Amino acid sequence: MSESYKKYLSKNSVFFLNVKTKTELLDAMASRVVAEDSSLDKSELVTKLEEREELMSTGMGLGIGVPHLRYSAIKNPRVLVGICRSGIQDYESMDGQPVKIVAMILVGESQHQEYLKILSELMKKLKQDDVRKKILSASSPEEVYNILIG
């Protein structure tokens, strides 16, 4: 059975990032989202992501960050994956380690069940040591995409 996150992940939604802080990360990923959906307001999206992070960091440990949001302006779930090999030191992850793999999940306010399914299945994949090692040593976003889809 195919994981649900795969239907929301595209080759264009996987990319390498060159950011140093969580603020820069959220801004860069929000830019990607807005570039593909001009109906969204980037400033509002960043503010909502920052508000969510203030409630509790989404740094899950193992170098994984999962900023996520249920947001009324999102009509269809979105999954983006950013790779930051240098690591984001100020992410405040549970294990205190820098975040290098960021999986952003955006869903509409009424899509809570789909959100939980996407989060669960994506985390199951990313918690595998061999998957994280392959992702961090990948030479292109397409290679990362194929690792996640495979």
- The catalytic site residues sit at 68
Integer distance in angstroms from the first to the last C-alpha of the chain?
12
- For 136, other C-beta atoms within 10 Å of its C-beta total 15
**Helix or strand holding residue 78 (H, E):** strand 78-88
Q: Are 101 and 126 in contact (CB under 8 A)?
A: yes
Note the pLDDT tens digit of each residue in 105-143: 999 999 999 999 999 999 999 999 999 999 999 999 999
Note the pLDDT tens digit of each residue in 10-20: 999 999 999 99
**In terms of pTM, does the model score above 0.75?**
yes
Q: Name the residue among 129, 128, 116 with its Cα closest to residue 5.
A: 116
